[in-house]
Amino acid sequence: MDISTVTIILAFIAAYFVWFRSITRSLKGPKLWPVLGSLPGLIENKSRLHDWIADNLRACGGTYQTCICAIPFLARKQGLVTVTCDPKNLEHILKVRFDNYPKGPTWQAVFHDLLGQGIFNSDGDTWLFQRKTAALEFTTRTLKQAMARWVSRAIKNRFCPILQTAQLEGKPVDLQDLLLRLTFDNICGLAFGKDPQTLSPGLPENGFATAFDRATEASLQRIILPEVIWKLKKWLRLGMEASLSHSLKHVDEYMTTVINARKLELTHQQNGGSLHDDLLSRFMKKKESYTDKFLQHVALNFILAGRDTSSVALSWFFWLVTLNPKVEEKIIIELCSILKETRGEDTSKWIEDPLVFEEVDRLVYLKAALSETLRLYPSVPQDSKHVIADDVLPDGTFVPAGSNITYSIYSSGRMKFIWGDDCLEFKPERWLSEDGKRFESKDQFQFVAFNAGPRICLGKDLAYLQMKSIAAAVLLRHRLVVAPEHRVEQKMSLTLFMKDGLKVNVQARDLSQILSKIGEDGGTGEAREVINYGIA
């Protein structure tokens, strides 16, 4: 190697480190390493990723920028990631400059094979059309009533008997797995009117459910790989891409059978047959002519959104309740006070059937406890957007076109400047009015568990209905205790699963002590305050 070549190499290295020093000064956030950027920090903290992000955001005042790859021609755009949890920035991204922050081509490419141009994987006019169509259906009371029927059947005929058997046999159960099966059966019933019965006795494997899970997992794997790599693996049918191809074929065959059957049923319905109230039927009844592929993606998009989110939230809720007996007692007092009024003094009648829609709607303190759970453990802990044009966030952060911006929903619920000094405490009372009688919603850009802005979750009310119904059914009948030596840890994925599930022992619930606190006159002191939540 001659001296001129060495000189050029040294000059290049010197220039790189001058650039690297300048970028480390301009970007506040996790430590940057030459070439690797913040990747070593991500790897080191992969088991506590969301808490690591929250730590960085606390240190940086709610927003930071980092380079995943510290290479000059990449760092400015593709390698630059802006991370924020500042409510003003979230409002700017999710509402004020909504059109400048779409899902983007990377996200859409990753999920296209499974979700197509469905509502959760599309932008622009394609998304807007589906949003308007779906919004008309989600505002109808009949859809809530349909959800209530599906949930009630699953609770009474499957979920409660399984828990009762576990109680009698003294064997622990994986509550997260049971909840995933329960919500999958419910959302499939609501989405396309067919019950996969994954919560049947013996917990059988369902081909469609298994294929859907594998397709989702394989699609998620694409996120951590460069696009050129996963596309090459797809072309060569290697690894998870081969599994994805096989699973998608199974899902497509299953959905084709469902859609064809529904077409025949709708024809029969027009001739006086029984009515269907699922989402798929509602779309098929509209004047517009939708392709079968579009209808399939409508159903699959809603299954993906409605299944994991509610079950994961309930898993964290039940775990938090086991750690906070005073909260558990207040929930039970509220339940008992309402049921005493609606079903009389005989407690056996309280558990004959799940709560009806009107009873569930009055569970104010329970809703507060579920909301507090979602604040601390949001089902979707973070989301990302693509930046179309150069922009400046309200806090002064410049975001260049072509870069990505991540908003940490998990961190939003854990910041003192948003929720106060007690932000890490499980405190349902923060969701109640000063007199303790009404549930008070928070600003949607502070509480982002259901997203915010134009893309705020359409199924928010249905999610609360399902979660409240299931939580009430369990806590009325049973006291849950986390199994000895079982560790509750977060699984690092797009959905905040518990890594090893939630293993619990199921014990009988003794309502006598609660009833004594209520008393014939409705209770006194703290008990009366809690009762007021349910009868306001």
- Find the DSSP H helices in 60-103: 72-75, 87-91
SS3 for 24?
helix
Is 160 flagged in the annotation as binding?
A: no
Q: What are the tokens at 305?
A: 């959104």
User: Rounded distance, CA 485 to CA 237, Å?
Assistant: 41
User: Rounded distance, CA 310 to CA 305, Å?
Assistant: 9
Per-position DSSP letters for 317-360, written without gaps between them: HHHHHHH-HHHHHHHHHHHHHHHHHHH-S-GGGGTTSPPPHHHH
| Tally of helices (H runs) and strands (E runs) in the chain | 23, 9
| Adjacent-strand bridge partners of 80 | 67
**Through-space distance between the first and last CA atoms of the chain, rounded to whole angstroms:** 84
Q: Residue 19 carries which side chain, given as an amino acid letter?
A: W
Q: Residue 2 carries which side chain, given as an amino acid letter?
A: D
Q: What are the tokens at 535?
A: 């009868």
Burial code (b: 16+ CB inside 10 Å, e: under 16) for 340-352 equals beebeeebeebbe
What residues are designated binding site? 457
What residues are designated binding site for heme? 457
